Structure 1
Amino acid sequence: MQDNNRNLILATVLSFLVILVWYTVFAPTPPEPTQAPATTSQTADGGVNTPTAGQTAATGGAQLGEQPGSNDPTAAAGRVVIESPALSGSISLAGGRIDDLLLRDYRETLEGNSPLVRLLSPTAPNADQQISTTGAKPYYAVYGWMPAAGTDPALVPGPATIWQVESGDSLAPGKPVTLIWDNGAGQIFRRIFELDDHYLFTVTQTLENTGAAAFSAAPYGIIARHGQPDTQNFFVLHEGVVGMHDGELIEQDYDDLAELDPIDREGRAQLFDVSENGWIGFTDKYWMTTLAPVPGQSFTAVAKYADGVDIYQTEARFPVQTAAPGATVSAGSYLFAGAKEWEVINGYQETPGIQRFVDSIDWGWFYFLTKPIFRLLHWLNGFIGNMGWSIIALTFILKLLVFPLARKSYVSMAKMKELQPQMEALKERTGDDRAKFQKEMMELYKREKVNPAAGCLPVLLQIPIFFSLYKVIFVTIELRHAPWVGWIRDLSAPDPSSLWNLFGMLPWAAPGQGTLLHSMSLPILAILLGISMWMQQKLNPAPTDPAQKMIFAWMPWIFMFMLGGFASGLVLYWITNNVITIFQQYTIMSMHGHRPDLFGNIKSSIPSRPKKDGK
């Protein structure tokens, strides 16, 4: 029995240490309040400098920069409205840039009147459009053509070129928009925008040459972010550049970009040559903007930071194309701008075939567990319709999968109880000779086919499952603002209830979620977690060793405080797991003739008053 307790204590302490390290080292800090970006002035081309004459697509690239006292053409340029079931916004005719985008299915907070999540923002809002970008830093996608060697840069459209609408009054699913620009020298450029019901733009750039000589240029696409965005600052969450080049994942933090080696006038950049399949862009925790050339198209993916102007950008640079007189050349690509919904992103991975697009979701170190756990949770939610109950159902399924191991563990614990008389006799026979006792005890275990470490295995197995489920709840947008019951309105956030205000009955507010003070204020789910761990512990008698007994007494309540600040969905999983474990252990050990004395163990753990005078 003492070995059972020692194994259980070892496993519990190990779990506690892992969670303690996780909480103190990796736990996210509360995000800083969003501040309005500093006032900046733009270049005459709206914040983008086109390359000088003689630069080619292989060595050049659109360079973002700012100069004091300049005007931003996007402020006065016309706009084309974007309207779909998932998106709303507009395209600026200055550069034909997509720089105004709201996500219609997502709000900043749980409040019904909370603003919609803004994904893209212009450098200077157009007063006529009443674009509200309070606190938003410029963030946009822009396309253009790089002049080939010997081609006059003024003859290709750049990020500041004012386009005209050739067809379409607004961009919507099934309603494309075509922009046109004539350089007056025999070349006509068109940009065709299409949009599906979700978040995928199809952008086709064409060059029609009506001149007498061949004309060469290289198309490109750019995603630009002015200033480093507010991030979660979470060690195990990637936010920054994300992409894929021929099967290799690209991940770079914003700080990493700023530390790259300078490349000529482009600032600091890293180039990835893509032969057939690739994409590149910026990812936030839940949102993403990504350039994805048509599969099979070769291009150069670029991640770049412009020194001095504090602008981050990713690019897709296409090879130089030459249009013979009377000919037309084109380049097609996709722009994903929206929420990282697994079902939608997985659909784009299948059609049009954006390679490994689901890996834009940060699955973490245990991706081999995280991915199938999320798939199962997603399927359950589609069937049940509530993420909280789906987490409970997922816990039952996971416990069923590891049941053979759990059963082996509990059977081993029952056999250990059967060996207690022999263990006591062994102690008497060996006396103080600990070496002899340990040797004969291991021989006894081997002879009776008992594994003393089996009791640790179910607890140890919970560690990777715990971390994987934590990752699922933390990074997948399907859990964001997902309610369960009553006061649990967001399973990705900590339980908002608090003992400090008697769970909402007193008039003052509880400590802010995500803070250490909140985790110590005993939310309801944390209390239930502590009780369930305490009940699970009482399936076995308290150890006789005082040190072990003290650890057992404190462990459930330490876990209660430690996990109180975790996402409520994760705490719900842990509670459900404990309840199932209690039932399994009680049932299996009872079937082998060793029914745990649950209530007797609880009673014996309560200190009793010493009797006075024999009374």
Structure 2
Amino acid sequence: MDDQNKNLLLATALSAVVLLGWYAFFPPPETAPEPGVEISETAPQTGATGTPATAPSAGIAASEGAAGLVTQDPQDAPRLSIDTPRVVGSISLLGGRIDDLQLKDYRETQDDDSPIVTLLSPAGQPNAYYALFGWAPGTGLGIDDVPGANTLWQAAEGATLTPDSPVTLTWDNGKGLTFAREISIDEDYMFSVSQSVTNTRDASVALAPYGTLARHGEPANLENFFILHEGVVGMADGELSEIDYDDMTDLDPDPRDGSRAQVTAVTENGWIGFTGHYWMSTLIPAPGDAFRAIAKYDERRDIYQTDVVLPTVTLAAGESTSANTQLFAGAKEWAAIRDYERGGIEGFLDSIDWGWFFFFTKPIFAVLHWLNAAIGNMGVAIIALTFLLKILVFPLAYKSYASMARMKELQPEMEKLRERAGDDRQKVQKEMMELYKREKVNPAAGCLPILIQIPIFFSLYKVIFVTLELRHSAFFGPFSDLSAPDPTSLFNLFGLLPWGAPAPDSILALAFIGILPILLGISMWLQQKLNPAPTDETQALIFAWMPWVFMFMLGGFASGLVVYWITNNVITFSQQYLIMRSHGYSPDVFGNIRKSFKRKEKNAEK
């Protein structure tokens, strides 16, 4: 086996092993069963000095007789409407919860009659998910003296929350404390919640403002895909933390209420919340404020919870105080999140799961986003991005293909060398190394483009899979979602018939692959033919099957990734052909194809 074929075989085998490992570790995501919903109450915990230790656990209180507290079905409570250009929903006056929110710009599927995406849902409904705010009692106060999950707030009749009109909720505990909560929202997905309290008592009181995000059970659409983080995400003074839902059961136990919790002290800047594939809800204290970020799981009630608890405030008689917290609840749009980060929310762009190769994925997506905005078609933008990436690695590719051409020129000398050395392999290797050194040829240079391609491939796969901008993004014709596998196949005459292709995880999908994977296999096969066919039958068999193995392996991947891979193969083929010709070696591509068919005919005759 000559060294050129060794290098090509090594690089191809390495790529195959990496992709097979990727496919094995990252199987198609499975949908988790929808969990049940439990509603209950836990009183806030206090420390020995009366300072609140955590925010109250989320739930519906059943306390009766306490001022302002009622026993009421949260779905029957009075509500204030939310209506902005991008979201619609309502705020429950029971607890002042932001618990009903839908995203106007996004639908569950691509069907015209598909419902818009629901992000937040009231307690009592399946997969309840909501935000609430309040004050945890400290010295001189009891749980009934502060607003909680079951407080019935007052608001102006008919008030509607819009970007131009904030709403104000009020509650008087009847014991000398008056609470107010002003809620506003911007044109996108950011709520601002300003909580204030006035003390008209004769004595001072202590209390701590908090915000809570609570979800009852795991999300119904949890994907459980290894490449994607779903669960708690937070930033604490520049350090990003992520906790998967299934890892929250391993948090440190809290002996006071039996829950599992992780408490992080944040000195200046941070945020915490829940993130999914495309949607996120995050609590964000004002920049510069110290607070405690809490991730919590209550196994008894199956409630996941994140809290931000600000420092305790001692309020003298006649004094007032306020606290400001933001709530992001919406789509993980790169441009919107970037603007919020530029507006002062430190590290907010890291809420998008960029992965281990973030130094690749972040700039790759930034360029892809810019190209899509300029071109207006995400598929064409991916093709343009591929050209830019190939330009960046062109110097390396040039050296590699030039080295491959020089290797071909040395082929006659290498054959003579083998004849002279006979079966003495050590002598053959030694003389070959001397030949390479004398002719200034690097036999491993052919592997470099493929080795460079692997992290780029993984980074682009991450970008295409996790970013919202690829969701339901069209290319042309039947390719209406570049984040999904190729929708065409022989089963629907490659998109000509009005029904879909077999599901990607079905056995039929292996037989009825789409037009993009077929083009991928052909482009790999043509690229392979740039090199003379191996003389060894085993090598020839491996090389003959490799493009078609890759074709079926990548058939279930996102079609945007396959578009990239096809474009990359075509560019690589063109580069290699032209560079090798410029160095005196003229690859007989079609001659190699003819020889391949003749060899197969001879094997068939045998």
TM bucket, shorter chain: over 0.9
Q: 1:427 deviation in Å? A: 1.4
The residue that corresponds to 1:280 in the other structure is 272
Q: 1:262 deviation in Å? A: 1.5
1:54/1:156 CA distance change after superposition, 3 Å: farther
Q: CA RMSD in A?
A: 2.2
Q: 1:264 deviation in Å? A: 2.4
Secondary structure of 1:12 counterpart: helix
1:67/1:331 CA distance change after superposition, 3 Å: closer
Tell me if 1:470 matches 2:461: yes
Asked if structure 2 preserves the Cα contact closer than 8 Å seen for 1:496 and 1:513, the reply is: no
Tell me if 1:239 matches 2:230: yes
The residue that corresponds to 1:150 in the other structure is 140
1:599/1:222 CA distance change after superposition, 3 Å: same
The residue that corresponds to 2:309 in the other structure is 317
The residue that corresponds to 1:120 in the other structure is 120
1:76/1:53 CA distance change after superposition, 3 Å: farther
1:192/1:228 CA distance change after superposition, 3 Å: same
Q: 1:240 deviation in Å? A: 0.3
Asked if structure 2 preserves the Cα contact closer than 8 Å seen for 1:48 and 1:159, the reply is: no
Asked if structure 2 preserves the Cα contact closer than 8 Å seen for 1:488 and 1:495, the reply is: yes
> Counterpart of 1:548 in structure 2: which amino acid?
Q
Q: What does the per-residue CA deviation read over 1:251-279, in whole Å, with 9 as the maximum and x for residues that have no partner?
A: 11112111223212341111000010010
Q: Write the distance in 1 (CA, Å) between the matches of 2:133 and 2:559.
A: 43
TM-score of the two chains, using structure 2 as the length reference: 0.94
> Counterpart of 1:310 in structure 2: which amino acid?
D
> Counterpart of 2:178 in structure 1: which amino acid?
I
The residue that corresponds to 1:108 in the other structure is 108
Secondary structure of 1:269 counterpart: strand
The residue that corresponds to 2:175 in the other structure is 185
The residue that corresponds to 1:127 in the other structure is none
1:213/1:100 CA distance change after superposition, 3 Å: same
> Counterpart of 2:301 in structure 1: which amino acid?
V
Secondary structure of 1:297 counterpart: coil
Tell me if 1:38 matches 2:36: yes
1:475/1:516 CA distance change after superposition, 3 Å: farther
1:210 corresponds, among 200, 206, 211, to 200
Tell me if 1:201 matches 2:191: yes
Asked if structure 2 preserves the Cα contact closer than 8 Å seen for 1:139 and 1:225, the reply is: yes
The residue that corresponds to 1:130 in the other structure is none
Q: 1:216 deviation in Å? A: 1.7
Asked if structure 1 preserves the Cα contact closer than 8 Å seen for 2:382 and 2:564, the reply is: yes
Asked if structure 1 preserves the Cα contact closer than 8 Å seen for 2:54 and 2:309, the reply is: no
Asked if structure 1 preserves the Cα contact closer than 8 Å seen for 2:121 and 2:128, the reply is: yes
Q: Write the distance in 1 (CA, Å) between the matches of 2:243 and 2:112.
A: 35
1:243/1:446 CA distance change after superposition, 3 Å: same
Secondary structure of 1:91 counterpart: strand
The residue that corresponds to 1:343 in the other structure is 335
Deviates most, 180-189 or 508-517: 508-517
Tell me if 1:421 matches 2:412: yes
Q: Write the distance in 1 (CA, Å) between the matches of 2:498 and 2:191.
A: 49
Tell me if 1:499 matches 2:497: no
Secondary structure of 1:164 counterpart: coil
Asked if structure 2 preserves the Cα contact closer than 8 Å seen for 1:51 and 1:63, the reply is: no
% identical aligned pairs: 59
Matches within 5 A, 1:467-546: 467-504=458-495, 510-515=501-506, 517-546=508-537
Q: Write the distance in 1 (CA, Å) between the matches of 2:72 and 2:339.
A: 38
Q: Write the distance in 2 (CA, Å) between the matches of 1:50 and 1:346.
A: 36
Q: 1:239 deviation in Å? A: 0.4
Asked if structure 2 preserves the Cα contact closer than 8 Å seen for 1:56 and 1:146, the reply is: no
2:440 corresponds, among 439, 445, 449, to 449
Q: What does the per-residue CA deviation read over 1:385-413, in whole Å, with 9 as the maximum and x for residues that have no partner?
A: 11100000000000000000000001001
TM-score of the two chains, using structure 1 as the length reference: 0.93
Q: Write the distance in 2 (CA, Å) between the matches of 1:535 and 1:321.
A: 72
Secondary structure of 1:15 counterpart: helix
Asked if structure 2 preserves the Cα contact closer than 8 Å seen for 1:57 and 1:318, the reply is: no
1:261 corresponds, among 252, 257, 271, to 252
Asked if structure 2 preserves the Cα contact closer than 8 Å seen for 1:53 and 1:152, the reply is: no
Q: Write the distance in 2 (CA, Å) between the matches of 1:208 and 1:491.
A: 54
Q: 1:218 deviation in Å? A: 0.7
Secondary structure of 2:532 counterpart: coil
In structure 1, runs of 5+ residues without a counterpart are: 125-132
Which structure 1 residue ranges, 4+ long, deviate > 6 Å from structure 2? 52-55, 66-70
The residue that corresponds to 2:67 in the other structure is none
The residue that corresponds to 2:77 in the other structure is 77
The residue that corresponds to 1:250 in the other structure is 241
The residue that corresponds to 1:439 in the other structure is 430
1:72/1:467 CA distance change after superposition, 3 Å: farther
Q: What does the per-residue CA deviation read over 1:350-385, in whole Å, with 9 as the maximum and x for residues that have no partner?
A: 11x111001111111111111110111011111111
> Counterpart of 1:59 in structure 2: which amino acid?
A
The residue that corresponds to 1:174 in the other structure is 164
Secondary structure of 2:323 counterpart: strand
1:141 corresponds, among 114, 120, 131, to 131
Asked if structure 1 preserves the Cα contact closer than 8 Å seen for 2:533 and 2:596, the reply is: yes
Q: 1:69 deviation in Å? A: 13
> Counterpart of 2:347 in structure 1: which amino acid?
R
Would you say how many aligned residue pairs link Structure 1 and Structure 2? 594
The residue that corresponds to 2:149 in the other structure is 159
